[in-house]
Amino acid sequence: MDTSKEIAVGIDIGGTNSRFGVVDGNGKVLEHDRFPTSTYPKAEGYVRAISRKIKEVLKKYEAYTFKGIGVGAPNGNYFKGTIEQAPNLPWKGMISFVDMFKKQFDERVVLTNDANAAAIGEMMFGGARHMKDFIVITLGTGLGSGIVVNGDLVYGHDGFAGELGHTFVYMDSGRKCGCGRQGCLETYASAQGIKRTVFELLAEKTRDSELRGLSFNEMTSEDIFHAAQNGDRLAKQAFDITGQYLGMKLADAVVFSSPQAIFLYGGLAKSGNLILNPTIKTFDDHVMAIYKGKVSILSSELNGKQGAILGAAALVWKQRK
């Protein structure tokens, strides 16, 4: 079957903007665009409008077989096709997102959360093409994870598996987490996490740093990345500490599924070796002997590409068996 003649639409829903694109079966993004999310106070209105836009775009691709639409969304539930209580989206409660799309399209519509979509994308179009057991860690505002076991994404009995960001670095202590508990990995290893580490270091150390000029509200993980690239020692130390937390908890995570590789994807992962090196070193120092030397920690091959769109589109081809 010539999959280069098949296309799917991938939609990556963010709080302010969505991004969508037309992807062929070989992982080529034929075109992509943005679409506002926050403009639509109701999900129905959003789905109607973006569907219109997609139908418009698809007219150019009549020579292709259109396979369907894949959606990656925060708190997306694969089984129910719903987006549930997503804190950063304008639509509250439980949104029957797939049902809304099915009123517009006869083809397959598949939805899952953004980290699961990233894992499916890695398996279909990225570095996990020949792997059956691997994990993708998304380092965005929070820390998400998509886990693949024996070629299938792990959804769990309710569709909510894969929340490695909410394993404990510290039990009953440590940083307060958005989930209501304390000490979760994502409060240390994520864009927000590294900023919190920088603020701890700014408080503890007397060392000069260009980050001393930015407020908590102003500072982004890009600022920390650029400071580290400029040789700012405090910023580099923040990356080291972040990698140490991450490496330690990844050593804990591999005992579950003995994966061949762990891919780091997303904003913070784009910092490359700044985050990879301390993560790998700490992982190697702590992983159980039977896994040593068997698990590669890699930067996602979809970083810097239209990864979120590719992952969402890949859902259409990689349906659960």
- Interface contacts to a second copy, rule CB under 8 A: 131-133, 147, 149-150, 152, 154-164, 166-168, 171-172, 179-181, 248, 251-253, 255-260, 286, 288-291, 294, 320
Distances (CA, A) of 307 to 57, 82, 233, 266, 303: 20, 22, 31, 9, 6
* Closer of 233 and 286 to a second copy (Cβ): 286
Least distance CB 31 / a second copy (angstroms): 35
Least distance CB 5 / a second copy (angstroms): 31
CA gap 178, 164 in Å, rounded: 14
Q: Is 128 helix (H, G, I), strand (E, B) or coil?
A: coil
- Joined tokens for residue 291: 């896994």
* Closer of 113 and 271 to a second copy (Cβ): 113
* Closer of 26 and 258 to a second copy (Cβ): 258
Rg for the chain, CA atoms, rounded = 20
Least distance CB 94 / a second copy (angstroms): 13
* Closer of 177 and 238 to a second copy (Cβ): 177
Report strand pairing: 261-265 vs 143-149.
unpaired
Looking at the chain, the number of H-run helices and the number of E-run strands are 8, 13
Residues 6 or more apart from 13 whose CB is under 8 A from it? Answer: 37, 71, 72, 73, 74, 83, 89
* Closer of 184 and 219 to a second copy (Cβ): 184
CA gap 141, 187 in Å, rounded: 10
Least distance CB 42 / a second copy (angstroms): 25
CA gap 2, 6 in Å, rounded: 8
Place of tokens 């904003």: 267
Q: Which long-range contacts (CB under 8 A, 24 or more apart) does 146-151 make?
A: 146/115, 146/116, 146/117, 146/118, 146/119, 146/120, 146/122, 147/119, 147/257, 147/259, 148/119, 148/123, 148/259, 149/257, 151/123, 151/321
Contact 10, 23 (CB under 8 A): yes
* Closer of 96 and 257 to a second copy (Cβ): 257
Least distance CB 233 / a second copy (angstroms): 24
* Closer of 32 and 166 to a second copy (Cβ): 166
* Closer of 1 and 171 to a second copy (Cβ): 171
Least distance CB 311 / a second copy (angstroms): 20
Rounded (10°) angle between helices 221-229 and 233-257: 120
Least distance CB 118 / a second copy (angstroms): 17
Least distance CB 268 / a second copy (angstroms): 20
